[in-house]
Structure 1
Amino acid sequence: MNETGSRLMAGKTVLITGGAGGIGRATAISLAKMGAHVAITGRDPVRLQNAAREIRAAGGGQVDSFVADMTSQAEIRHLAGEIRQNIPRLDVLVNNVGGYWNTRHLSADGLERTFALNYLAPFLLTNLLLDRLKSSAPARVVTVASNVQSGGRIDFDDLQGERHYSGARAYSQSKIADVLFSYELARKLLGSGVTANALHPGVVSTSFGAEDPGTVQRLFLPLMRPFMKTPQKGAATSIYVATAPELEKVTGCYFSNSKARKSSQQSYDNAAARLLWQLSAKLVGLESLQ
């Protein structure tokens, strides 16, 4: 669904993680223009408030903002509590937040940061908000993955990159994990009225990876920028999957350029998806979800 000024999302509430900049902010602006009540998260309060003002000005509707560092499970739990307290219905959750680090960093929980932010954060937040999504059904969970999932591999013996770390490998592993999660979530939610889909936004020109860039970011990104998508174009598939009426009952799919595509062969490994879910539930303290 393109940005047309349509009020397609009037009366609906959408939560977008990482909505203070880049693809997340562009997604929020478009959904606000469609009439949605938009809620965004970000870790920098000033940047978050500036984004909220911009989204409010573009759409003219209600915009809520929540400060949260999504690498911290405590902050994700606090965020979920704030959402439950302040947002009575949740029609769409867009798991958009993500990051890339060339060297190995640990989160506040002692977990490898790429895995914690790109994968465990959406896993935990989605599960904490499932009751709200189910009570708002028909509802959607939209998870922003990446086509690097095609080369990703879940290393169950070294999920945290303790023995061997590569920024690129950690990133691709987190993105295949996002797709496996989406498919397993779709299976678990069958009949609930809540769908779960993943997507590739395209190669987008943002500040992604700027905190700890690798060789590709330092040397090649400046040359590639003229050929990369703008955040607005990068948000198009997220907007489509979040809003398209024809997708109301479509679940367990992977989208690129606003079309359903095949994801990598490993992403359809149901046994791997179940094992990843079980390990993830333990890592975030939700063992009852197994």
Structure 2
Amino acid sequence: MCWAFFTEGWGLFFSEELYNLSVLFSAALFSDRNASVAALLWQYLVGGVSVTGLLWSALWVVAVRRYLAGGLCTSTARLTGQTVVITGANVGIGKETARDLLRRGESYKKLLYYFKDKQVHLACCLSPGAHVILACRSLPKAEEARRSLLGEGGKVEVRLLDLSSLQSVRGFAAGLVKDNIKVHILINNAGVMMCPYMETQEGFEMQMGTNHLGHFLLTNLLLPQMKQHGEPARIINVSSLGHLSGEIDMDDLFFKKKPYDKVQAYANSTQIQVFSLHPGSVHSALGRHILSSVMNDYILCLALKTTLEGAQTTVYCATQAKQHSEMYFSDCAVGWALYASKDERLAEDFWKLSAQLVKLDE
């Protein structure tokens, strides 16, 4: 944990954490279950609750939430002229990542002539940020997200991509090639977590098919678009700490022989690490198959990152992170990945199997 964790990003933290801080501070203040709210307020008004006690409660709440919020990206890198593809960018951390990258325009000085006083002024202006492509399976939801991002600075467009269909993946990649779009940053963000047993269009188990195979094919198909411009390019895979319990069974990758375990299936689908990251435990729609909406929206959120906080490590990897032997990041710093994810023999075998399953050579 670096010094910047304690000294930077407090404005963003407090703007994001107003609800969580208010609820937790109220819980700490009124933790005496034998006293009514009115009684506690009266005690405070007459001096029964010390100011010191209030301050300690406030500091404790802020400290806990600041720790849970994790690292914040402080990079000032500009992305003017660069194209970014983000899968699953209509909601959650994908949308917040898009918002951040759209804002990263170049600052420049420009002479502006004001007719009011007939004087020439030198003003600091900001050119548009990145050209962001929202690659999503639901066009109506993606279009709604696009409209909400229009005022952020860069160019934002929507393209259809359903990662549970290899035909859709090929069609998306073919569209970028046809339009000669040079890709500088590919963020494989979309995913499904711990869903009931379902299959992709090709018959793969949904989590392995979407989280790994769909992105595997997409990345390979877009490599020419990332190489041809000769500029620096990045591929970022949004993985999960869940990979620590993963165990790739080459003989039964899709749970055809053994009983389906949705937790194991999710862990397996996030084990391949290449400049990868764990965004943290984030309050988002990804957990829709695990908990009720009431539990997720009003209770669990108190212990999780917001989507903006969850997007920080993705933005960090897209703008600032440098290659490391671990190639795995968490909380805007180098993280730790399971040894199996760095096993070159296993990686080669799994690559060959993945290429065979998605028919990469066709």
TM-score using structure 1 length: 0.85
CA separation in 1, counterparts of 2:326 and 2:168? 28
Match of 2:103 in 1: 33
- Structure number with greater Rg is 2
Match of 1:16 in 2: 86
Look up the SS of the partner of 1:208 in the other structure: helix
Deviates more, 1:31-40 or 1:249-258: 249-258
Contact map agreement 1:278 1:287 (CA 8 A) in 2: no
Match of 1:190 in 2: none
CA separation in 2, counterparts of 1:91 and 1:275? 28
Q: Per-residue deviation at 1:260?
A: 1.0
Q: What RMSD in Å do the two structures reach over aligned CA positions?
A: 2.0
Mapped pair 1:45 → 2:139 = yes
Match of 2:308 in 1: 232
Equivalent in 239, 242, 266 of residue 171 of structure 1:
266
CA separation in 1, counterparts of 2:195 and 2:204? 15
Contact map agreement 1:103 1:166 (CA 8 A) in 2: no
Contact map agreement 1:18 1:42 (CA 8 A) in 2: yes
Match of 1:74 in 2: 167
Measured at CA, do residues 98 and 150 of structure 1 come closer, stay the same or move farther in structure 2, by a change above 3 Å?
Answer: same
Q: Per-residue deviation at 1:252?
A: 6.0
Contact map agreement 2:282 2:304 (CA 8 A) in 1: yes
CA separation in 1, counterparts of 2:228 and 2:324? 18
Aligned length: 263
Measured at CA, do residues 45 and 3 of structure 1 come closer, stay the same or move farther in structure 2, by a change above 3 Å?
Answer: farther
Measured at CA, do residues 264 and 227 of structure 1 come closer, stay the same or move farther in structure 2, by a change above 3 Å?
Answer: same
CA separation in 1, counterparts of 2:252 and 2:77? 47
CA separation in 1, counterparts of 2:99 and 2:180? 19
1:14-42 Cα deviation digits (max 9, x unpaired): 10000111110000000001111111111
Moved over 6 A (4+): none
Equivalent in 325, 329, 334 of residue 255 of structure 1:
329
Q: Per-residue deviation at 1:164?
A: 2.2
Match of 1:189 in 2: none
Mapped pair 1:2 → 2:96 = no
Q: Per-residue deviation at 1:82?
A: 1.1
Look up the SS of the partner of 1:40 in the other structure: strand
Unpaired stretches in structure 2, ≥5 consecutive residues: 1-71, 105-128
Q: Which amino acid aligns with 2:188?
A: N
Mapped pair 1:204 → 2:204 = no
Contact map agreement 1:37 1:62 (CA 8 A) in 2: yes
1:107-145 Cα deviation digits (max 9, x unpaired): 111111110100011100000000111123310000000
Mapped pair 1:276 → 2:346 = no
Measured at CA, do residues 235 and 154 of structure 1 come closer, stay the same or move farther in structure 2, by a change above 3 Å?
Answer: same
Match of 1:120 in 2: 213
Measured at CA, do residues 64 and 138 of structure 1 come closer, stay the same or move farther in structure 2, by a change above 3 Å?
Answer: same
Identity of aligned residues (%): 32
CA separation in 2, counterparts of 1:201 and 1:3? 16
Contact map agreement 1:71 1:108 (CA 8 A) in 2: yes
1:144-172 Cα deviation digits (max 9, x unpaired): 00011111111112100112211111000
Q: Per-residue deviation at 1:230?
A: 0.7
TM-score using structure 2 length: 0.69
Unpaired stretches in structure 1, ≥5 consecutive residues: 183-196
Report 1:75-114 matches (<5 A).
75-114=168-207
Q: Per-residue deviation at 1:287?
A: 4.4
Match of 2:233 in 1: 139
Look up the SS of the partner of 1:10 in the other structure: coil
CA separation in 1, counterparts of 2:333 and 2:92? 22
Q: Per-residue deviation at 1:86?
A: 2.7
Measured at CA, do residues 47 and 267 of structure 1 come closer, stay the same or move farther in structure 2, by a change above 3 Å?
Answer: same
CA separation in 1, counterparts of 2:301 and 2:146? 26
Report 1:46-61 matches (<5 A).
46-58=140-152, 60-61=153-154
CA separation in 2, counterparts of 1:130 and 1:251? 22
Q: Per-residue deviation at 1:2?
A: 3.3
Look up the SS of the partner of 2:270 in the other structure: helix
CA separation in 1, counterparts of 2:135 and 2:163? 9
Contact map agreement 1:114 1:174 (CA 8 A) in 2: yes
CA separation in 2, counterparts of 1:120 and 1:47? 24
Contact map agreement 1:205 1:231 (CA 8 A) in 2: yes
